[in-house]
Structures are given as C-alpha cells and as structure tokens.
Structure 1
Amino acid sequence: MKVVAFPRTEQGSGASRRLRNAGQTPGIIYGGTAAPVAIALDHNALFHALKKEAFHSSILDMEIDGKVEKVLLRDFQVHAFKQLVMHVDFQRVDANQKLHVKVPLHFVNAEVSPAVKLNSAVISHVMNELDITCLPGDLPEFIEVDLSKVEAGASVHLGDIALPKGVSAVAHDNPTIATASVPAGQVSAEEAAGSTEAEKK
C-alpha cells in the first residue's frame, strides 16, 4: 500500500492545530540509521486507510518529496469523541532486520467443523491477533486459523496453527486461540429430550 506524506517544518501544538484545521494530520517517521522526520498526511485519506486491516499489518510505501521508503504503522491517536486522527507514527523498515508486530487472525471453516455441524457449538475467539517476529519480506497480512476439525468442548491452541514460512510467534507458552462450547441451555434441552424418551419407554 502506498502513502503520500509531506515534510513538516513547523512543530509544536500550535502548528499541529493549524495542520488539522487545514485537513492534515501530523506524524513522524523514525527508526533505522536516518534521523526522525516530521511529516503531514491528508487526514481523509489517512482516516479511510486506517479502516483497512492491511494498513495496520503490511509494509507501506511512504512517498515524501518523490522518494519512497518502506515503513510500518506503529501508533496513532484518535480524538476522544470526534472522527479525527490526531497524530500518527511510522517506523522505517530494514529488509535485513526482523520485525516484532501483531497481525490479525482470520478464522475459517467454523461452519463445517464437527463442533458446529453436529453439536451446534459456539466458537469463541480468545485471541484476534498474534504477536510475531519475521523479516519484512515474510510479513503476512494475516494468519489463517482453520477450525474445520474442531470438536465440541475442544480448544484451538497456538501449537495447532500452521504459521507461514519465516514467521515465529512471540509466546512463552501455548496460548488458547479459540474454544468451541455448547450453550448451557442447549445441553439441558437435549438432556430433557433424552429424559422424555426414557420415560416413554
């Protein structure tokens, strides 16, 4: 994804306020061997980009004065009650240095799992993103969690997920990613139906 930014010479709260009034968002690029650079971005373009999942977990092409460098979104601040992005931070990316980032989890095939098809279980997502390390070239936009074989009452753990090549999870244990549980009311309804059948006999 490409992002166009402009160098920003004036700094301070007054200058930032003037930028926002002019429809721009102040930001900064840092990291690597170069000095931090203060930038400004078109607010509306940035606001809509932030709604896209890929913008948060992909290497971005940042163009400033015709020069493009690879960056990663690191932080942004939004106004407490207005639809206004107050500030945004980007980090330069070195192709040879590993990144430490969070990527979203995409859960697939829940509807064909034994838990849902046979037991009408409810799949709960315990985690929606995963902390990983990898080289920039190996950064996945998301990680897929296949739920097709999950049984009722079972859990999916980090160890059950096939991570993309070159990607390592940052976890000291084997955390739970998702669970499949049968609703309590449904269990008792099934039991009641079973009891009725037994009484008829």
Structure 2
Amino acid sequence: MRARFTTLSKVALLSELLNQRVLIMKFNAIVRTDLGKGASRRLRLTDHFPAIVYGGEAAPVAITLKHSDIINQMDKPEFYEGFVLVIDGQEVKVKPQDIQRHVYKPKVEHMDFKRI
C-alpha cells in the first residue's frame, strides 16, 4: 500500500526538517595590512589568499583567509547562501559575491564578500 501525502503535510514535513538542524559555517579571518600584488603572491605561497568584505554601512575591509578551510566547504550549497567570518573577534555575516580561481589548479586566487 502506497502512502499518500497531501500538499499540506509535505510542507509541514519540509519545514520541520529545516527547523531541526541549521548549521552555520564559521571561518577565521585576519585583517590585511600589506596590500598589493607582491603581498598577495606571498600570501598564496603560505596556503592563504586575499579577500575583501564590503557592503552595509561599514567601510570595506581587506582580509586573509586560509585556503584549505574555504576550498573544502565550497562544494556545499550552504556556502553560497551565507556564513560567518570572524574578523578580529567580531562576527560578520557575509555572502560570497565573486570568486576568482586559478586557471588550471584547484585554488582560489581572491574572493569578494558582501555583508548581509
């Protein structure tokens, strides 16, 4: 015998599943003081990459992120919906706006984040 779900029960089931467990990704970021092409290249040699956070009423902030932390989470759809960056102890909710990748290596060159 096949179970039949009404539209109302499907919606109720879906909302219950969504409310059960919501994971928010959180990454640590460091404010960059050295800016420019040379400084960015040196960062990339140490498994980090440059990024910028902008939007909202606060000023744009240049940051550094650890490459291995980010690249492992980029396969998940939740990554593109938004997450939290911890910048000098302050939590900022952001969404990836632009991602620049290496031409043939599986590496991120630079990311832009928009505050939400």
Deviation at 1:50, TM superposition (A): 1.1
Deviation at 1:65, TM superposition (A): 1.0
Equivalent residues in 2 for 1:46-195, closer than 5 Å? 46-57=70-81, 59-93=82-116
Deviation string 1:109-162 (CA, Å, 9 cap, x unpaired) is xxxxxxxxxxxxxxxxxxxxxxxxxxxxxxxxxxxxxxxxxxxxxxxxxxxxxx
SS at match of 1:16: helix
Please identify the structure whose Cα radius of gyration is greater: 1
Q: Among all aligned residue pairs of Structure 1 and Structure 2, give the percentage whose two residues are the same amino acid.
A: 46
- Give, in whole Å, the separation in 2 of the partners of 1:37 and 1:66: 14
- The structure, 1 or 2, with the larger RCO (C-alpha pairs under 8 Å, 6+ apart) is 2
Deviation at 1:51, TM superposition (A): 1.5
Calculate the TM-score normalised by the size of structure 2: 0.76
Q: Which runs of 4+ in 1 moved over 6 A?
A: none
Residue 61 of structure 2: aligned partner: 37
Deviation at 1:8, TM superposition (A): 0.6
Deviation at 1:4, TM superposition (A): 1.3
Deviation at 1:54, TM superposition (A): 0.8
- Give, in whole Å, the separation in 2 of the partners of 1:91 and 1:84: 21
SS at match of 1:70: strand
Structure 2 unaligned spans of 5+:
1-24
Deviation at 1:89, TM superposition (A): 0.8
SS at match of 1:54: helix
Matching residue's letter, 1:61? V
Aligned length: 92
Task: Tell me which of 19, 22, 44 is aligned to 2:43.
Answer: 19
Deviation at 1:84, TM superposition (A): 1.2
